[in-house]
Structure 1
Amino acid sequence: MLKIELRPTREGTPGQGELLIQGWKQGASALEFAVRNNQNDGYLDGAGKWGASKYWNSLADVREEDGKLLAQVGACLVDPLLKDRTMTYLLYLQNADGSDQGVLSIDDSLLSSTAIDKTRREKSKQEQRQKEEQEKEQKEAQRAEQEEKQEEQEKQQKNKEEEQHRPDAPAEPAKRTQSRWLRWLLLLLFAILVAGLAWWLIPRFMQSPADIKAGGEAGACSAPVLAENPDDLALIQSCLKTSPSSDEVLALISAAKENKRCNLVQRLYAHKAQSGDAVIALAYAREYDPANFKAGGCIESADAETASYWYELALERDPSQSVARERLEALKK
């Protein structure tokens, strides 16, 4: 089975990617490939559309480096695959000398061709925001300058009037009374500020870290959330943000099976297994394994090749998986 990765080109051009293929032994001439969506068994055609029939595309500009095949591909392949990053895809490769297949891994930094327009729009919006901020700063500076001039004029006018009405003897008692009232006023304002700050901080100091975590993450990966969130992709994203354990993911998968949310089941399996969770990879392999397959569930039929891939991935993440090693050896016989 091949190891295949679709990653960005060195230039990082949106809509362009580079296929990295490891394990191919049949030469680099006259290669063709087909891509299958492992969730609904659709095949990608040359126009970037999904259909029921297997469609073979020519793989051009192929080069060999250190025993690996490298080939540049365009938006007709990149864009359809990036519409849903949680899907699992199989890539078939063939030429006159032989054929092979492997699960297609997609690099997280790969961008679709639509990112070009998005980048331009964001740049335009940023320039517009900068222009508006500059104009706002200029207006504020002008207003502040005018206010400062007005205050200075008013101060000069007030000083002039005070000079005209100043008595011969200074009124010291009146000044002391004014100073006393000012001190009391400042003390009152300070007391109000301290009381408000205490009212805001004390409940937060009394709240434990467990309560804080529970308030933000409770239920994101629990069975009740299935009834609250019918959107599979949104549910997966909110669950994975909490970094759930393998047991929590398996419990959610079990609940999704009972609720016939099969699309959610396969997406959770594939995403967690490809993210390095050996326990989930082993469980997913057993779903396809002919020795453990159960009809009437979310997996339509047993598939020894798919089971072998997930067993290999489980062993790659955790070489101590004895069950995965035994079943992999049995499937290869």
Structure 2
Amino acid sequence: MSTQIAIETRGLGRSFGTMTAVDAVDLTVEAGTVFGLLGPNGAGKTTTVRMLATLLRPSRGTATVFGHDVVGQATAVRSMIGLTGQYAAVDENLTAWENLRLFGRLLGLSRRAAQDRAAELLEEFELTGAAQRRVSSFSGGMRRRLDLAATLITVPPLIFLDEPTTGLDPHTRERMWSVVRGLVGRGATILLTTQYLEEADALADRIAVIDHGTVVAEGTAADLKSSLGDEMLRIDLADPAQRPLADAAVERLTGVTPLHGDNPATVTVPLGDIGTAADLITACRDSGIRLRGFGVERPDLNSVFLALTQRPARTARPTERASA
């Protein structure tokens, strides 16, 4: 492609009746990079992808893919993209081999080329042993891998991966990350939506955090982490019921709203000055707050996520880890 900009949006928005799902999103995605859309469930990530992939008409604003308007030049846009959604698009009544061969033929490959590509992808996604099984017998993780393989029958210039590793075990997730890096190495651009902090941190050259349909921050992972300052104080409470008291003490002393993750007994505070840590611990003691421990840490992407959305980010659930 002659242009170095793969995706550009200005004021992009979508409403469903009176509900605004995406509101005035501005994005610029450089070609040959991985751009991460990070946000909690329902933040507007999938709606944004559906508009960019021409599956949903924007209510307002503009969006282009390699200079082609997603509304006025939708056919040209579709010829340059691949999309893996959150749910498997493969045919459950066919085998894995038949699905991939069918996708290859539909995408214009010759019979032999479709067969060869199907064999390559089955091996790459560790599905060779299940090649002749009907998809209806697959576990959720296996279906996900097959769906990802189908997306990669050909390698278009732009690939949308909408929460691609949901339901995958850690080994397969790591393998998918390796596939994504390989695609970028071959010149593809990836727009990745995810709820997993470690995925965005591991893969994305730039990250936009989206919440309630609005981009609330954008930058590299390092940029986002540094936006909170150099240090964070983690206060571990002996009694979770005392968290409101701890919050009040923190806000009274620093004017900063504490961050709350999944653990109700933990309060995290961005520190503008490391010397404030001792003052905060003293303030908690003077307020009668019993502590189990504390620590000073470098900000991570989880801290950024909490600061921007005040909602804990997802980690893989045990049921997801069990999928194969």
Q: Normalised by the shorter chain, which TM-score bucket?
A: under 0.3
Greater share of residues in helix? 1
TM-score by length of 1: 0.25
| Higher Cα radius of gyration | 1
Greater share of residues in strand? 2
Structure of higher RCO (CA pairs closer than 8 Å, 6+ residues apart): 2
